[in-house]
A and B are shown apart, each in its own frame.
Chain A
Amino acid sequence: MEVTTQQTAAPSSLPTPPPDKLLDGEPAIAELNKIDSDIDIDFQSDLLHTPVSGPTQGGLSRLPVNGEAQRGGTGNGDVILGPKEEGRGEGGKEVEMKGVGSRRPSVEDFDLMTTLGTGTFARVWLVRPSGSPPTENAPLFALKQLKKVDIIRLKQCEHVRNERSILEVCRPHPFITHYICSWQDRNSLYLLLEYSPGGEIFGYLRRARRFDFRTTQFYAAEIAMILVFLHNHGIVYRDLKPENILLDARGHVKLVDFGFAKVVGDRETYTLCGTPEYLSPEVIQSKGHGKAVDWWALGVLIYEMSCGFPPFYDNSPFAIYEKIVAGRISFPSILPEETKDIVRKLCTKDLSARLGNMCGGGHQVMAHPFFRGVHWQELENQVHPGPIVPNLRHPGDTKYFDQYDPPSTSARDEYTDEMFEKHDASFRDF
């Protein structure tokens, strides 16, 4: 169980057993973190974008699985089949897959097992490579399917393109869902992503109603690290909320849904997007916004995790916005002072006074007393499991995901030939 190699024993102040012990008892979890070389796939990343016609000889193709998934791998025993050496450089473990060969994957290469989530124009499936034995240790992925017709109807082409390129940039980050590859067919775009079996923090939060200080601090810390990373890359995320934060098998966060993320550099951007309760005043008032909106949203998130409800809420969205613009926050008396303080400082309307947007950037956020005691390096290395460790019965256990109705088709969903002619060029480089 190599997953545990980077772990050190827990501090002695708390009777936490050594993590390897923990994982010994949980073979399934360990298995999940370790996509084993001899079971699994590897599509060839550089070939993914160069469709090759012709028979595949029923052979095996390869697909790099980045980050967390291969963390536990030792790298030995990898056999790379076919003309695949060149230009990989991913250093990832590989997972092999029958019948795919040297071409882009298609949706037929996967068994769509169940729906993990739905959005306005996307549906996320839990998938396993088709033909792989339906055993408990089959490699699992999340496949995000985006309907071209809806993307066009909602004028979201730009956002969809951003999503893919940004996910590519974010590959190395442990707390961001790993992007594996993408492709399209006539009607849909597909993003193959790492599967985070813990489900949304949202579910845990609503069931727990509130998180205690330590739990809130843990998630806020991991999110702060993500934001620092994204902002260093000039990326603004723009849709922070518990619904978009998933847990991996060890309870660390995985940020998903980069549909609104955008490379802004140091410029401002103007498209209103996000989630009503989490919008910042400058977004609501169309003043142009930048990376500072993520720090505002972190303040809202910390408040919501601590209290169970967001600082600005009302029955109608417009009334929510009025409250956000007015900027008054009331705190339940039980909140620790550090929590109140960081929320106040993050949810500051004045951009020259918003924590995270000032001189020192995100590091000033990390230095706030709210994060006192956080060992950032250990956190980044995921030395300890998170405060909530999903209790999975097997790797494909989807009990932490909501149940969704199967997709329905209606006339409105049809991506007509006419639309294809007119719009498909905008998906050309996807």
Chain B
Amino acid sequence: MSLPEAYLDEINALNREILKSKPTDVLQFCANFFNRRLEAQRVEFLLSVSNNSGFSSSNTFGAMPSSSAYVGGESLFPGSGANLGGPPPSGGRESPFSGTITEEDEDVGQSPTTPSFRPAALGGPSLSNPNLAAPPPPSPGQLLFSPRGRFTFGNDQPPHSGPSHLSPSIHLSPNSASPDFPSNYNMSRRTSVSAESLVPSSSNEEWNPPVYPKTSEQLNRLKTAVSGNFLFMHLDDDQSGQVLSALMEKPIPRKGTRVITQGDVGDFFYVVEKGSFDVYVNSAGSMLPGLDGMGKKVNSIDPGGSFGELALMYNAPRAATIISTTSHNILWALDRVTFRRILMENTFKRRRMYEAFLEEVSILSSLVPYERAKIADALEPFTFHPGDVIIQQGDPGDNFYIIESGEAEVVKHGINEPIKRLTKGDYFGELALLNDAPRAASVRAVTRVKLATLGKDGFQRLLGPVAEIMRRNDPRLAEGVDPLSNVGSPGPSGGFDGGKDVVEEAAGRGRAVEV
């Protein structure tokens, strides 16, 4: 015979609380916990009763539209609760903040709703309220705003039987009264998480990630092992290469060795190279002493599998215990600080590089550093392989590109030789930021090319129209001279959309005026 599920839910919830709070007075803590639960459950019950009683439609609270927002503090009769989550009362939106209620005390909940409330209320003895049986209900105005001495001292009736009522941390039970409320959402307070604070190393003290040599098969296996993990998915080749090199071999020679222990702090992520491991979870949230302390076996992990990935983000208690089931196992281990540092150093360098590149873009010469940072923030990296066409002559132009590494060439219909070679720091397609003219030339990758790109829409969302930005430097442009008249038609020198010369010509014109 097994224990009832509802009971197990309660016990598990209690276990979590105990683990979280580590109370000194365990018995008192448990008593408080169950008192709170009881209260919560009864509030739930009342809510559902009031929901079903059609109480929500009787809008006696019309004068206090926001009352529905609030279910009575610790008041046990959330008179307005039936309207929870519903759309705002119609017509009430003109003066949103003027309607106000004092948080209901125990004597508020009864008022306009006494008839529908009393039966339910009487059903719950511990909820009984001395005021409840005292009709007639005051009018809403009186009810809320008359000075009834609620804030004076001494003559206030202690409304509740115990301090546990005052606790706002109610763990609502899953059997929700609201249809689309998730049944598995844990309603308790959430704690903040944080990794070690890291600062990018300055340019003169280069940081080099650790490198543990691996065979190409090992590397491929590792790559496959982490490919589905979102922490690795977006890494570029450099980052990914450094991360994989930094994985350290960790032999686990014996069977029955605990690699990680549920509840312990975690600093490492592991990939299984060889051997097999079992995963145990104790529903109490951490491994306990004793025979069954590891809890239930929930899974097993074979070569290619991985575990402990949360440790790459921040220091959190391990969610499971992992134990070896074979001998001569080999793991690859990676610690959080190394992982995060690799990502940070790469990103930091790339950002600064983008900002430096952007400074060179003529049509963006008037951007202030803050704006360049914003653009750098939004640039998306892309990689093209030799021979790939990056932009195609005649296509509509949407994006602007900066070459991060590698080499590309500009080609044009009817011309056999490439017009121009583009390398690191060169940019093209920037005219797409200005107008919708089709691409005047194609750009093709010669080697493997890493690019950063941003679309016209994105650019404009961040900084506004580029034409406006160009006008900042050139009063004449503001007076109605169209900066695009020359730019739009390819000049003889560049002859393609985004050829540096064309744009420099346009921007140069602006400068000439300024000087």
The chain A residues found within 8 Å of chain B, CB to CB, are 10-11, 13-17, 21-22, 24-29, 119-120, 136, 154-156, 158-159, 199-200, 202-204, 206-218, 239, 241, 243, 251, 257, 259-260, 266-268, 270-277, 284-288, 290, 292, 306-309, 313, 315-318, 321-322, 325, 332-334, 336, 350-353, 357-359, 372-375, 378-379, 384-394, 398-406, 408
What B residues does A202 contact at CB under 8 A?
A: 168, 189
> Does B168 contact A200, Cβ atoms closer than 8 Å?
yes
Query: Which one of B65-73, B129-137, B202-210, B216-224 is at the A interface?
Result: B65-73
> Does A25 contact B146, Cβ atoms closer than 8 Å?
yes
Query: Which one of B247-255, B285-293, B307-315, B507-515 is at the A interface?
Result: B307-315
> Does A272 contact B195, Cβ atoms closer than 8 Å?
yes
What B residues does A285 contact at CB under 8 A?
A: 230-231, 234
Q: B351 contacts which of A260, A268, A394 (Cβ < 8 Å)?
A: A268
10 smallest beta-carbon distances between A and B, as pairs: A203-B168, A25-B147, A215-B69, A352-B458, A210-B85, A213-B88, A387-B66, A273-B194, A28-B151, A352-B378
Q: B97 contacts which of A266, A288, A378, A394 (Cβ < 8 Å)?
A: A378
Q: Closest CB-CB distance, B464 to chain A, in whole Å? A: 5
> Does B314 contact A272, Cβ atoms closer than 8 Å?
yes
How many Å lie between the Cα of A200 and that of B73 in the bound state? 11
What B residues does A217 contact at CB under 8 A?
A: 96
> Does A29 contact B151, Cβ atoms closer than 8 Å?
yes
What A residues does B43 contact at CB under 8 A?
A: 207
How many Å lie between the Cα of A206 and that of B167 in the bound state? 11
How many Å lie between the Cα of A306 and that of B181 in the bound state? 12
Q: Among A211, A288, A322, which residue has the most Cβ atoms of chain B within 10 A?
A: A288
Q: Closest CB-CB distance, A166 to chain B, in whole Å? A: 15
A-B pairs with beta carbons under 8 Å apart, 22 shown: A14-B65, A17-B141, A22-B145, A204-B73, A207-B71, A208-B81, A210-B178, A212-B83, A214-B99, A259-B192, A271-B197, A272-B195, A272-B314, A273-B194, A351-B377, A352-B459, A373-B94, A385-B100, A389-B103, A391-B73, A394-B153, A400-B166
How many Å lie between the Cα of A243 and that of B314 in the bound state? 20
How many Å lie between the Cα of A408 and that of B29 in the bound state? 14
Residue B25 interfacial (CB < 8 Å): yes
Residue B49 interfacial (CB < 8 Å): no
Q: Closest CB-CB distance, B340 to chain A, in whole Å? A: 6
> Does A206 contact B170, Cβ atoms closer than 8 Å?
yes
What B residues does A214 contact at CB under 8 A?
A: 65-66, 69, 88, 92-93, 96-97, 99
Known: A271-B196, A317-B316. A391 touches B103 (CB 8 A): yes
> Does B153 contact A266, Cβ atoms closer than 8 Å?
no
What A residues does B313 contact at CB under 8 A?
A: 272, 284, 321
Closest chain B residue to A251 by CB distance? Answer: B100
> Does B73 contact A276, Cβ atoms closer than 8 Å?
no
What A residues does B153 contact at CB under 8 A?
A: 28, 136, 393-394
Q: B145 contacts which of A21, A322, A325 (Cβ < 8 Å)?
A: A21
Known: A212-B88, A285-B230. A353 touches B340 (CB 8 A): no
How many Å lie between the Cα of A375 and that of B344 in the bound state? 42
How many Å lie between the Cα of A351 and that of B116 in the bound state? 50
What B residues does A206 contact at CB under 8 A?
A: 168-170, 172, 187
How many Å lie between the Cα of A325 and that of B228 in the bound state? 13
Closest chain A residue to B87 by CB distance? Answer: A336
What A residues does B382 contact at CB under 8 A?
A: none
- B251-285 with Cβ < 8 A to chain A: none
Query: Which one of B368-376, B383-391, B418-426, B472-480 is at the A interface?
Result: B368-376
- B40-97 with Cβ < 8 A to chain A: 43, 47, 63-66, 68-74, 78, 81, 83-88, 92-97
How many Å lie between the Cα of A149 and that of B316 in the bound state? 19
How many Å lie between the Cα of A371 and that of B70 in the bound state? 20
Q: Closest CB-CB distance, A351 to chain B, in whole Å? A: 5
What B residues does A390 contact at CB under 8 A?
A: 73, 103
What A residues does B378 contact at CB under 8 A?
A: 350-352
> Does A400 contact B85, Cβ atoms closer than 8 Å?
no
> Does A25 contact B148, Cβ atoms closer than 8 Å?
yes
How many Å lie between the Cα of A270 and that of B344 in the bound state? 7
Q: A286 contacts which of B145, B152, B343, B455 (Cβ < 8 Å)?
A: B343
Known: A136-B153, A402-B169. A16 touches B147 (CB 8 A): no
What B residues does A257 contact at CB under 8 A?
A: 192
How many Å lie between the Cα of A107 and that of B184 in the bound state? 43
How many Å lie between the Cα of A77 and that of B88 in the bound state? 47
Q: Among B29, B147, B181, B189, which residue has the most Cβ atoms of chain A within 10 A?
A: B189
- B449-473 with Cβ < 8 A to chain A: 454-455, 457-464
Known: A25-B148, A359-B461, A375-B97. A209 touches B66 (CB 8 A): no
Q: Among B78, B191, B197, B231, which residue has the most Cβ atoms of chain A within 10 A?
A: B197
Given A351-B378, A352-B458, A402-B167, 9 new contacts (CB under 8 A):
A10-B95, A21-B145, A206-B169, A208-B69, A209-B85, A288-B348, A308-B178, A351-B377, A405-B21
> Does A393 contact B151, Cβ atoms closer than 8 Å?
yes
How many Å lie between the Cα of A214 and that of B99 in the bound state? 9
Closest chain B residue to A217 by CB distance? Answer: B96
What B residues does A359 contact at CB under 8 A?
A: 460-464
Q: Closest CB-CB distance, A235 to chain B, in whole Å? A: 15
Q: Closest CB-CB distance, B496 to chain A, in whole Å? A: 26
Q: Among A286, A334, A359, which residue has the most Cβ atoms of chain B within 10 A?
A: A286
Closest chain A residue to B313 by CB distance? Answer: A272
How many Å lie between the Cα of A380 and that of B24 in the bound state? 44
How many Å lie between the Cα of A309 and that of B187 in the bound state? 8
> Does A268 contact B377, Cβ atoms closer than 8 Å?
yes
Residue B4 interfacial (CB < 8 Å): no
Q: B95 contacts which of A210, A266, A318, A373 (Cβ < 8 Å)?
A: A373
What A residues does B377 contact at CB under 8 A?
A: 268, 288, 290, 292, 351
What A residues does B190 contact at CB under 8 A?
A: 241, 243, 275-277
Residue B180 interfacial (CB < 8 Å): yes
Known: A212-B69, A251-B100. A17 touches B168 (CB 8 A): no
> Does B200 contact A209, Cβ atoms closer than 8 Å?
no
Encode B294-333 as 1/0 by CB contact (under 8 A) with A.
0000000000000001100111100100000000000000
> Does B23 contact A270, Cβ atoms closer than 8 Å?
no
- B133-165 with Cβ < 8 A to chain A: 141, 145-148, 150-153, 156, 163-164
Closest chain A residue to B103 by CB distance? Answer: A391
Q: Among B65, B99, B309, B454, which residue has the most Cβ atoms of chain A within 10 A?
A: B99
Residue B115 interfacial (CB < 8 Å): no
Q: A403 contacts which of B47, B81, B163, B310 (Cβ < 8 Å)?
A: B163
What A residues does B191 contact at CB under 8 A?
A: 119-120, 275
Q: A318 contacts which of B184, B200, B309 (Cβ < 8 Å)?
A: B309
> Does B151 contact A273, Cβ atoms closer than 8 Å?
no
Q: B172 contacts which of A209, A333, A350, A384 (Cβ < 8 Å)?
A: A209
Residue B193 interfacial (CB < 8 Å): yes
Q: B99 contacts which of A14, A156, A275 (Cβ < 8 Å)?
A: A14
> Does A11 contact B95, Cβ atoms closer than 8 Å?
yes
Known: A120-B192, A243-B190. A286 touches B461 (CB 8 A): no
Q: Closest CB-CB distance, B402 to chain A, in whole Å? A: 15
Known: A206-B172, A209-B178. A218 touches B96 (CB 8 A): yes
How many Å lie between the Cα of A314 and that of B70 in the bound state? 26
> Does A270 contact B348, Cβ atoms closer than 8 Å?
yes
> Does A334 contact B85, Cβ atoms closer than 8 Å?
yes
> Does A286 contact B344, Cβ atoms closer than 8 Å?
yes
Q: Closest CB-CB distance, A382 to chain B, in whole Å? A: 10
Residue B493 interfacial (CB < 8 Å): no
Residue B104 interfacial (CB < 8 Å): yes
Q: B32 contacts which of A276, A286, A403 (Cβ < 8 Å)?
A: A403
